[in-house]
Structures are given as C-alpha cells and as structure tokens.
C-alpha cells in the first residue's frame, strides 16, 4: 500500500511518530422512553450529573485547562442551553433526541460563525452534548486513547484530549478542527503536535497502522515507506537535539558577550504561571502581581488565603528571591467595591499604594500575610505607584506594626525588605531620597507618565516608547541612585521582554530584568548578543 | 473609565444606557463571556447587552445567550440596565469591557 501524504494547518508544533487510533463516534442507544414528565426528569438528572463531572474535573486542573472547563461549566449550568430541549420533550420528544436536536442547532450556529474563534467553540458544545447523552444512556463518557498514539478523527473534544496520556508522545490529526480550538490550546500546553483541516479521512475502509506527523509544517504521512520513515526519524532526532540545546541555554545564567552577568527574573500574574516550570531557568521572581487574588473571588481574600498563595510561590522558588507587589488596583485595574468609580482620570487618581494607604484595613491583611510568608524564604515586598518618600515611610510603619502584632500573638513571621516601584517620574527624579531596600522600575507606567501617552490609544502609540531618551535617562538615574545607596535595581515592565531594547536597557547600567516565563529563553539569547 | 455619554436617569424608572468598545483580542469569546455573566449576576438589576443601540437585547446574565451574540473585537457593546443597583452594575460592566476583561 502506497504511503498517503496529507496537508492541513499546523495547530501545535513538533514532530511525532506512532500507531494510529481512529476516533469513532459511538452512539449509545436508550431503550426505554417515558412520558414527558419522566423524560424531563431524566434530562435534568443527566445535565446535573454532567455538570458535577465537569466541576470535579476543574478541581484537578489549573490555568488554561481550568478556564476551558469553566467555560463548559458556565454553559451547561445556564438553563438557556436546555430550553429548546425541554420544549420538545413537553411536545412528546424523547429526552436524548430533544437534547441532541437542541444542541445540534446550537452547534450549527457556532459552525457557521464568521469568526474562526467562535467556530472553534463548536467542539466545546459537542463535548457538552456528548457528556449529557452519555449520562442519559448510562454509557461510559469518553473512550480512552492509548498513550503515544496518533489520534485521527473528524474533530476531538477537550474531554477526550484530557482523558489521554500525552507524556508518552503522540499527536492529533483532524479532518476538521481549528488552531483556535480549546484542544489546540491544550495540545500546545502539553507539547503534543497537532494538525487540523486535513480534509476527509476515508482510507477506503482500511485505517492506516502508522503515521508521521509534522506539527510545524502541518503535514501527515500515513503508512510511510521504510525510507520515508527513516528520514523522518533522523529529522526527529535532530529536532530533539536542537530543543535540548535551547532548553539548556534557558537554564544557564545570562551573560552579555562581554561577560557581564545579568539576572533574569520572572513576572508572575498567578501562581499557575509557574506550573511545570523549572526554577533553574531564572534567578528568582521579580514581580508577583497580587491583583488576581482580589478579582475572581467573592469579596476580599482573607489572610490565610493570601498566605497560602505567597507560600506556594516562595516554595516553588527553592530559596531564590521572590518579590511580591502589594495590591496595584485602580487605573486600568478596577476592583468592584475597592477602587473608586467615576474618577475623571483613573491613571492620575487613587491607585496603587495611594489606594492601599486609603484602605488600611485591606492593606493590613496583605502585610500580615506577607510577613508570615517571609518567614519561609527570601521574600521582598514592593509598593506600586510610590510618588513621595512619606508614602514609603507610612507603609513601612504599618509593616513594622503588623510584624510586632504577629510576634505578640506568637505567630511565625519575618519583616521582609520593603522596596518601591519606580513608575512615577517624581520618584525616579529623586530616587535617592527614598529609604528603599531596592528599586524596581515599572517601565510601562514610567513610560506613559513621562511621555504623557497612554498605551491603549493607537493615535499616540508611537509616543509610548520606553526607548525614548527621556525614559532611558530616568531609568539610568534610578540605577545610579541604587548604586550610590548600595541597593539592587531591577526592571519589570514589558520593555524587559522587548529584545529590541535589551542593548539600550543594559547600557543604563541595569543588571536585573524581569520578564514573563515564556520570554526567558529569548531574553537570554538577546543578552548574549549585547557587546557591553 | 466611564462612558461620557452614559445617561443618568433620575430615578429607577428609566433604564441606564451606555456603551463600550470591545478591545480584547478575540472579541466576546469564551472567557470574557464567562467573566461578563459572572459579573452581571452579582447585581440584582436587569442587565442586557446589544450590538446596536436599538437592540435586539440579550440577557447579560446568560453565557449561552451572550455567546450567541458572537461579538467580534472592535464591536461596540451597548448596555441597558434597570434596577435598584443599576448604576454600580453599569459601571462594573463598562469597567470590565474597557479593561479588555483583564486579558491585555
């Protein structure tokens, strides 16, 4: 049998070879159909069981995967989804037929959407449909896929993907599907190659035994000739070696071509960002945003909740320094019930440390949680939006008071070093005057306040340039103040990850840059090219 | 980040109206829809959204219905809010959209 070459769209990169598992859509039959009241109850019970299943799954995952399942949970919990099905049942339809028809109509609406992103959500609706149908028929929900296999089919649901073991290789090749689908996001996160849009996979009734998948080029070869397979395997070996070399570079310390050691730290928006990351890729955590603690939850997070999250990050860092920023709400980050609504210019209003000092009852809880966490590692605390020295002094006095109170209660704690973010030009101009344990330059706000140009206004976007001499001179001034005072200076804005600016930033004397985990390897490579 | 054109009704008899532009990358998709409906459900007020100021109006507390709107990036979302906590509800909805649902 001749090998079959198919070309589709790359959805997740990488090469894979393995036995083919063909996904089939098994339709379980319900034997008994009751009267409308019984059918309504059956559908209700099946939806509730499916919802409970999704909610249980959410508890076992984090980050992107949890977001995907939370979307499914929100959809299935919404009565609007089953409305049409209940109507059909009261008109005499069986529960499974009514549910399938209602969901198929919903799915058709997604499949015909203009926007690819919305089209890709059809797979989530199929997932919900089949989960409920499985409960209605009492069948096992998802077919198990053997680890290491190349899964071929029309499309695949997130549930089917999650039920498989991807640690032993394997890949996904689909007749339909989309690079924007939740499964594609999952595949990229798990490193499983994926090709979509291959067109009909007919095989004339004889499915292939083996497949070669190129997730970079978007091609698949079924039942390859021995020579084709040998060439592919040598490509895989070369790719694995190159990958290992890049990974090795990511782990090593960053040095410029001239041999200057640059610390590369991580920016963390939520503790899940660190899942699966080796702390050896960084010299510590340069910025932990704490806003995530305040947005999703119901009401303000209590001391123990905050402490648990701070501990988790400190424990992950294995002794490396971790800098946590106190709540930076306000401006473009409103928090209902905490920030002030209706400010004429929120960026010049009650935000960052100004808000924390105005709401001491909220700020104290965070300072207590941070002091307790500081007893377990190298923790530093930084204050956002500091403008004048008295703000740092007032925060320092509150931190001292909370530490004393904790000690008096016999609770383990340590007083963390307290530093300031330099993001207001006033603070950069007189950085020497602050009794700060360190400086961390927030280049996003420093740029927008210096250049008087917002980041999200397209018409002035060219003015919002961290590489402008005015901004670079404020950065250099802060670095100089740190040198005179003998304290560390780092930079944690988006510009740290902009490798076009690496030379200019290091020319200011900066030796510490903090970036998102995904940018670490790129930044280290850019640092290695800098001659100074 | 309030819409300058938000009309402020004197009592609770007239619904409050305001609009905001979807600035996040892929429009009102899965995660933003979930965030938007979760936020809307925190208020007692009746909250509806539409792509034009004349409707058709969609219940902002239903993720299924909000997803059916398929609002793309750059679309203007119109809100119509009625109820005792209408003002904070409208402010919260506008803040969420203007913030790009925290997705940057």
Answer with the residue of higher pLDDT: A438 or A166: A438
Q: Among A244-253, A509-518, B31-40, B63-72, whose mean pLDDT is lowest? A: A244-253
Q: How far apart are the first and last CA of chain B?
A: 16
**If pLDDT is split at 50, 70 and 90, which confidence band does A28 have?**
low
pLDDT at B7: 45
| Residue indicated by tokens 């709400």 | A329
**If pLDDT is split at 50, 70 and 90, which confidence band does A237 have?**
confident
**If pLDDT is split at 50, 70 and 90, which confidence band does B12 have?**
very low
**Residues A396, A435: contact at Cβ < 8 Å?**
yes
pLDDT at A100: 92
What CATH number does residue B41 fall under?
3.30.1340.10
- Residue in chain A nearest B64 by alpha carbon: A75
Q: What is the average pLDDT across A274-303?
A: 83
Yes or no, beta carbons of B88 and A341 under 8 Å apart: yes
Q: What is the average pLDDT across A415-420?
A: 98
Instruction: Count up the domains in chain A and report the number.
Output: 3
Instruction: Count up the domains in chain B and report the number.
Output: 1
pLDDT at residue A483 greater than cutoff 60:
yes
Residues A61, A20 within the same domain: no
Residue A333: its chain B contacts at CB < 8 A?
99, 102
**If pLDDT is split at 50, 70 and 90, which confidence band does A480 have?**
very high
Residue B64: its chain A contacts at CB < 8 A?
75, 78, 80-81, 106
Question: Distance (Å, rounded) from C-alpha A124 to C-alpha A285?
Answer: 35
**If pLDDT is split at 50, 70 and 90, which confidence band does A25 have?**
low
Catalytic residue among B15, B19, B29, B63: B29
Question: Distance (Å, rounded) from C-alpha B94 to C-alpha B19?
Answer: 7
Q: What is the average pLDDT across A402-421?
A: 97
Residues A113, A256 within the same domain: no
Q: Provide the H-helix boundaries in B1-102.
A: 30-41, 63-69, 86-98
Whole-prediction pTM value? 0.52
Residues A318, A404 within the same domain: yes
pLDDT at residue A455 greater than cutoff 80:
no
Give the residues across from B79 on adjacent strands: B18, B49
Residues A396, A256 within the same domain: yes
Residues 6+ apart with CB under 8 A from B73: B22, B23, B24, B25, B26, B27
Residues A351, A288 within the same domain: yes
Of A113, A137, A161, which residue sits at a domain end? A137
Residues A17, A81 within the same domain: no
Q: What is the average pLDDT across A149-173?
A: 84
Whether residue B88 lies inside any domain: the answer is yes
Whether residue B81 lies inside any domain: the answer is yes
Whether residue A353 lies inside any domain: the answer is yes
**If pLDDT is split at 50, 70 and 90, which confidence band does B6 have?**
very low
Domain, as residue range, for B70:
16-102
**If pLDDT is split at 50, 70 and 90, which confidence band does A176 have?**
confident
pLDDT at residue A201 greater than cutoff 50:
yes
**Residues A168, A145: contact at Cβ < 8 Å?**
no
Answer with the residue of higher pLDDT: A306 or A25: A306
Mutant choice from A74, A86, A115, A116 vs B, greatest count of B C-beta within 10 A: A74
**If pLDDT is split at 50, 70 and 90, which confidence band does A350 have?**
very high
Question: Distance (Å, rounded) from C-alpha A463 to C-alpha A448?
Answer: 9
Residues A337, A472 within the same domain: yes
Residues A469, A337 within the same domain: yes
Yes or no, beta carbons of A117 and B31 under 8 Å apart: no
For all residues of chain A together, what is the average pLDDT?
A: 88
pLDDT at residue B4 greater than cutoff 50:
no
pLDDT, tens digit (0-9, with 9 covering 90-100), for B15-60: 888 888 888 777 888 888 999 999 999 998 999 999 988 889 999 9
pLDDT at residue A213 greater than cutoff 50:
yes
Whether residue A31 lies inside any domain: the answer is no
CB atoms within 10 A of CB A244: 10
Residues A173, A302 within the same domain: no
Question: Distance (Å, rounded) from C-alpha A287 to C-alpha A265?
Answer: 8
């Amino acid at each position: 049998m001749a090998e079959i070459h198919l070309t589709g769209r790359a959805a997740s990169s990488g090469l894979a070879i393995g036995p083919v598992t063909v996904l089939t859509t098994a339709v379980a039959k319900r034997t008994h159909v009751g009267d409308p009241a019984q059918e309504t109850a059956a559908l209700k019970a099946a939806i509730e069981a499916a919802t409970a299943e999704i909610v249980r799954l959410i508890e076992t995952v984090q980050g992107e995967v949890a977001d995907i399942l939370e979307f499914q949970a929100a959809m299935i919990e919404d009565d609007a989804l089953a409305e049409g099905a209940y109507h059909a049942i009261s008109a005499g339809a069986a529960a499974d037929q009514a549910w399938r028809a209602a969901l198929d109509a919903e799915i058709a609406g997604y499949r015909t959407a203009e926007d690819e992103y919305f089209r890709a959500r059809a797979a989530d609706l199929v997932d919900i449909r089949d989960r409920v149908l499985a409960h209605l028929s009492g069948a096992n929900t998802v077919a198990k896929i053997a680890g290491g296999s190349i899964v071929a089919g029309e499309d695949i649901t997130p549930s089917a993907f999650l039920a498989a073991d991807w640690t032993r290789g394997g890949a996904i090749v689909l007749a339909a599907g989309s690079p924007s689908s939740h499964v594609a996001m999952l595949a990229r996160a798990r490193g499983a190659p994926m090709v979509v849009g291959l067109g009909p996979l007919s095989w004339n009734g004889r499915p292939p035994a083996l497949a070669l998948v190129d997730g970079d080029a978007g091609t698949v070869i079924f039942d390859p000739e021995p020579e084709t397979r040998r060439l592919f395997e040598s490509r895989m070996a070369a790719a694995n070696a190159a990958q290992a070399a890049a990974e090795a570079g990511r782990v090593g310390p960053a040095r410029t071509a001239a041999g200057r050691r640059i610390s590369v730290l991580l920016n963390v928006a939520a503790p899940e960002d660190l899942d699966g990351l080796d702390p050896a890729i960084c010299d510590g955590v340069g910025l932990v945003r704490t806003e995530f603690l305040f947005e999703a939850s119901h009401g303000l997070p209590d001391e123990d909740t905050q402490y648990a999250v701070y501990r988790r990050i400190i424990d992950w860092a294995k002794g490396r320094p971790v800098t946590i920023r106190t709540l930076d709400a306000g401006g473009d980050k409103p928090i209902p019930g905490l920030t002030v609504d209706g400010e004429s210019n929120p960026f010049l209003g009650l935000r960052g440390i100004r808000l924390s000092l105005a709401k001491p009852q909220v700020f104290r809880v965070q300072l207590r949680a941070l002091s307790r966490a500081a007893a377990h590692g190298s923790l530093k605390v930084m204050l956002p939006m500091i403008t004048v020295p008295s703000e740092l002094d007032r925060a320092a006095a509150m931190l001292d008071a909370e530490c004393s109170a904790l000690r008096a209660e016999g609770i383990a704690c340590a007083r963390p070093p307290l530093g300031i973010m330099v993001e207001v030009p006033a603070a950069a101009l007189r950085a020497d005057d602050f009794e700060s344990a360190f400086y961390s330059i927030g280049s996003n706000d420093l740029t927008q306040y210096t250049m008087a140009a917002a980041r999200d206004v397209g018409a002035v976007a060219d003015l919002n340039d961290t590489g402008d001499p005015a901004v670079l001179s404020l950065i250099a001034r802060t670095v100089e103040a740190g040198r005179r005072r003998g304290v560390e200076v780092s930079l944690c804005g988006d510009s740290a990850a902009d490798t076009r600016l690496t030379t200019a930033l290091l020319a200011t004397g900066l030796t510490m840059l903090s970036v998102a985990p995904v940018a670490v390897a790129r930044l280290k490579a850019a640092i290695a090219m800098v001659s100074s | 980040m309030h819409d300058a054109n938000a009309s402020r009704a004197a009592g609770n008899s007239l619904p409050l109206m305001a609009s905001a532009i979807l600035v996040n990358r892929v429009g009102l998709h899965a995660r933003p829809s979930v965030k938007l409906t979760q936020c809307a459900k925190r208020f007692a007020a009746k909250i509806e959204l539409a792509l034009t100021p004349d409707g058709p109006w969609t219940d902002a507390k239903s993720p299924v219905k909000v997803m059916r709107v398929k609002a793309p990036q750059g679309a203007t979302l119109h809100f119509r809010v009625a109820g005792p906590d209408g003002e904070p509800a409208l402010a919260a909805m506008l803040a969420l959209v203007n913030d790009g649902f925290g997705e940057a």
